[in-house]
Amino acid sequence: MSYPLHAKICLTGHGCLCPAVTLFLVSEPLMPGGNILHLLEQAIVDDPGAPPRPDIPLVESLETPSEPGSPEPQIHAELRPFTAHLPDPERLRAILHDHLIVDPFGLDLGDRAEVTRLALLPEHRIGFRRSEDFQPDSIRQAMLAIYRHFDLDQRAPLVYHGFADPTNGWFALRTAAA
């Protein structure tokens, strides 16, 4: 990431080399000491000035429930190099203001494609969830690791930005690596 002390947290599907969903944390502006976990689908951004378009195989994998008894690989952490550019400060300020985001932790503000996704993907407030609410074991373990990484109460509200159906959507991702 452009700021070396930050880490980009991502969920990836089995057999997928690219992230499916990136996660970042922001303070809850209406609740002192509270936090909101944002989930940002990695929709395709061909040109940082153009709107994102759905990655159909990715959305299908996010919306497909796992098969009972199917083997799932173990969850593991990966460190991957990432390069970014300096953001347009005025555009960035407007995007963060629109989403009530102040000082996001885990969002690389220098990644133009990520900022474009945040600005233009549909936003769905999901409400409070716990790691126990996630059905597949791999997702439950990944979310528990994410809550622990961010040192969060496991009932932090979630905000999902993406094309997949948020009612079952990425919660049904077959396998995940955090």
Asked if residue 147 belongs to a domain, the reply is yes
Cβ(163)–Cβ(20) below 8 Å: no
Asked if residue 35 belongs to a domain, the reply is yes
3-state secondary structure (DSSP) of residue 44: strand
Overall pTM > 0.95: no
- For residues 173 and 11, what is the distance between their CA atoms, to the nearest angstrom? 9
Asked if residue 156 belongs to a domain, the reply is yes
Asked if residue 2 belongs to a domain, the reply is no
Tell me the pLDDT of the chain (178 aa) as tens digits: 444 445 677 777 666 667 788 888 898 877 778 889 998 998 999 876 778 999 888 788 777 766 655 555 555 555 555 555 666 788 888 988 888 888 888 887 878 888 889 999 999 888 888 888 777 777 777 788 888 888 888 888 889 999 988 776 666 555 555 4
**Hey, which residues does 158 pair with through a beta bridge?**
37, 127
Q: Which residues contact 100 (CB under 8 A, 6 or more apart)?
A: 26, 29
Asked if residue 124 belongs to a domain, the reply is yes
Rounded to 10 degrees, the C-alpha dihedral 127/129/133/139 comes to 110
Asked if residue 177 belongs to a domain, the reply is no
Asked if residue 3 belongs to a domain, the reply is no
- Domains: count for the chain: 1
Range of the domain at 154: 9-172
